[in-house]
Every structure is written in C-alpha cells, then in structure tokens.
Amino acid sequence: MEHLYDDHARERIVPEPPKRVDAPVRMAFERDRARVVHAASTRRLAAKTQVMGPQTDDFVRNRLTHSLEVAQVARDLARALGCHPDITETAALAHDLGHPPFGHNGERVLDELSQECGGFEGNAQTLRLLTRLESKTFDAAGDSVGLNLTRATLDACTKYPWARVGSVPPSGTHGDGTPRTTMKFGVYDDDRPVFDWMRVPGVGRAQCLEAQVMDLADDVAYSVHDVEDGVVAGKIDLTRIDRAGVWQTVRDWYLPGADDDRLDEVLRALQAQESWLGTRYDGGRRGLAALKNLTSDLIGRFCGSVQEATFATGEGPFVRYSGAVVVPEQTRLEIAVLKGIAAHYVMATDDRVDLMVRQRELLAELVEELSRRGPDGLDAAFTEDWHAAADDAGRRRVVIDQVASLTDASAVSRHSALVKA
C-alpha cells in the first residue's frame, strides 16, 4: 500500500536520515503514527471533555478514548477502501488534539477572546500543535517544526483545508450541544507557510480521501458512542423514545427540514436491526453485552453502507485525491437520528447548561489574568514564545495557546492559583 504514495506525499519539512540499521524498520507513515501516539498533547486528551466531563464517572468517554475509537473505525474503513490505514489512523488520533478545556464550550470562549490575533478554531489549533507547539524537530533557522510529519499525514489531519477569511458563517450546533458560534477553518494566518507546503496544488478546498475517512469515522463514532454513554448513565432508554421531543431536537440541531414521517421511518429502520435493545438497560453483564453488540452493529451498518456506495463510483483503491467517500442519504439520516437522541436526553439538560456557563466564565477570567501577568503565569515553552512575539496580537496568541493546552482539571487549578490567589 505504501507504493500508492509517492515521494512528494512522504516528504517531511525537515529531511530525516534513515534510522540506525539495528533498529526495527518502520515505514514513513508508521513513524508518523508513533509520534502522535507518544505526544504529550495526546496524553492530555484523557482529561478533556468529550460530551460529559472526564470526572463524571469511570465509564463515559473522554477525548482520548473517543479518539482511540475513531482511530479504529478509520483504520478499518481505510483498509476497506484501499487508502493507507496508518495515515487515516494517525489523522483520527490527532483530530481532537487542538480542542481546549471543556470541549466546544471552551473553543467558543477562546475564539471570542482572540479576535485580535485571528480567532480560535480547534482544527487550526491541531495543525499548529503538529507543526509548531508539540516540538520534536527544529529547522536550520532554529524554529520548531513540531512532530515533522509527512505531507500526506498532515493533509489527512486537516478537516477544514482553508483559512478563516472566506469561511462560511457558523450555524447549527456542535456534537456536544453547544451552538456553533465559531467559523470552521484549518489554519491560522501565521501558520500559512506550512499549510501551503502541505497542500497539493490545484485541489482548492477539497479534503484528501484520508481526511474524509477520518471525518466520517468521527461522525460515526460519536453518534453511536454518545447514545451508548447515555444509556449506561441512565439518561436514555431506547425502548421508550419521546419521538416528538427528539424529532424537534433533530430539526433544531441537525436537520432543519426533516419531517416527522421521514424521521419515524429512519427510526423504524434502526429498530428493525436485530441487536436493537428490546428491554431497558439494567446495568447487568447481559445488558452491557447487548448494548455493546448494538454499538458494534451500528458502526458496521454505517461503514458497510459507505463502503458499498463508494465502490459503486469506481474500483479503487481510493487514495489522496483519486475519489471521494460517499455517504448514502439513509445513512446520513440514521446518524442524525442517533445524534438527536443523545442531544435530547443528555446534552440539553438544565444542569449541563448551567455548568457550561460557569466553564466559560472560568476560561475568560484565566485568559485575562494570564494576559495581565505575561510570562510570570506561563509555562516555560510559552514564556519563550511570549518574549519572541512581535506585538500585542502575537502575545495574545501565546496566551491562547497556553490555555488551549490545559486539561479541564488543570484549567480549574490554574484558575484557582492565579485568579483566586
């Protein structure tokens, strides 16, 4: 499969000599995957919110477990379609690295407070981490090039391959229930040189095939797993669904034009699946096994339909810009219905809305206090960036980078130490 990717796709920003001869031989994309696995930013995902906070209990998913599950879905789908599984798995492992504390709720605050330096976007922050902040390699000028990943892998990690200027105005909601208030884009202005190096000339805003696989795997994973988490938490009973309430949530959050009859039809198709739960989840081993079987079957159902539809457009293998992932309309609607069930019963509750308000206040106070203190409140790496910044906008970006790097718990503790001191 490696032969499907040319030297241009395997090129790194800084050329690297082969590993010593007595070391295990690893191909370029295997090395990329290892670098993301061992990155500090990856470890921090274990303490960052997915839907419910990591401290909620010991079952719900955090950003790390979600990323691992997305990686498994992406790897299997990539193998089926013929693109490189290591590239898509690495992209999936990296896709949430740029998310700040408190998920999209935190992203919203950081964007509001960084308008002077180009705004904040989790996917643009991921590119910044991979190519600058998560240091492993430095260029001849002494500047960090991050993990020095290959061009193909970086491209696969880029969900929104365009800059902020010209982005579509935000609408709808995120998967965690927060309103979309930030524009979606994949690169800040001062990271544009590496972005231009990474992209293939002439493709415009198109996602490469591997990025499409990562994007779909993310959609599939959280649509299914958020329902599973809600069932285990006792918030969702799949045997008793308030259709009127759920359908309104689906329309409000995901499918504005969907009518009740069509959504009823989609739900009946899901319920017709043999593993759909016929009794209320009771927490026992048989109940957990049944729920796990449902989760597995739903993922297989969605990926199987996409594989079939994609191969209907050509023989494959589908690599880089030689095709597109095709998601059938029925599959798109089934995923939206599952998201709506989770949204209605888990994400729109009053206690969660109140918590999110407090989280936004905490991050806003922390950003302002760090901006006031400057290097005295920053970690050593960000202190260096502060001193190297050319103006106030550059220093604001350093503060935003620092806060975005924190976990939920470390944001709370840093706030207590600096703001409440």
Residues 346 and 361 reside in one and the same domain: no
* Angle separating helix axes 408-418 and 350-373, nearest 10 degrees: 50
Identify whether 50 is part of a domain.
yes
Domain boundary among 198, 229, 246: 198
Q: For residue range 33-61, what is the model confidence (pLDDT) as tens digits?
A: 999 999 999 999 988 765 544 444 444 56
Do 214 and 169 lie in one domain? The reply is no
Considering the domain architecture, whether residues 345 and 360 belong to the same structural domain is answered as no
Residue 203 inside a domain? The answer is: no
159-163, 187-191, 342-346: least confidently modelled range:
342-346
- Which domain, by its residues, includes 334? 209-351
pTM exceeding the 0.85 threshold for the entire prediction: yes
Contact between residue 95 and residue 212 where contact means Cβ atoms under 8 Å apart: no
Place of tokens 């109940």: 287
Distance CA(206)–CA(7), nearest Å, equals 21
Within a domain: residue 239? yes
Whether residue 272 is found in the same domain as residue 346: yes
Enter the DSSP assignment of 294.
Answer: H
> Which secondary structure element, helix H or strand E, spans residue 5, and what is its range?
none
pLDDT (mean) for 63-86: 95
Domain end among 304, 324, 351: 351
How many domains does the chain contain in total?
Answer: 3
Contact call for residues 224 and 299 (beta carbons, < 8 A): yes
Is residue 363 within 8 Å of residue 102, measured between CB atoms? yes
Phi, psi torsion values for 173, nearest 5 degrees: -135, 160
| CATH for 114 | 1.10.3210.10
Supply 242's token pair. Answer: 């308030």
**Which tokens sit at 251?**
């329309």
C-alpha 195/C-alpha 193 separation (Å) is: 5
Q: Indicate whether 177 and 247 sit together in one domain.
A: no
Q: 81 and 8, same structural domain?
A: yes
Q: Cα separation of 77 and 210, whole Å?
A: 10
89 and 150 fall within a common domain: yes
Domain boundary pick from 316, 351, 386: 351
Q: In whole angstroms, what separates CA 54 from the centre of its chain?
A: 16
Does 204 fall in a domain? no
Question: Same structural domain for residues 133 and 215?
Answer: no
Say if residue 315 is in the same domain as residue 399. no
pLDDT in tens, 347-390: 766 666 778 889 999 999 999 999 999 999 999 999 999 999 99
DSSP 127-188: HHIIIIIS-S-B-TTS-B-TT--BHHHHHHT-SS-SBSTTPPPP-SB-TTS-B--S---SB-
Q: For residue range 130-166, what is the model confidence (pLDDT) as tens digits?
A: 999 999 999 999 999 999 999 999 999 999 999 999 8
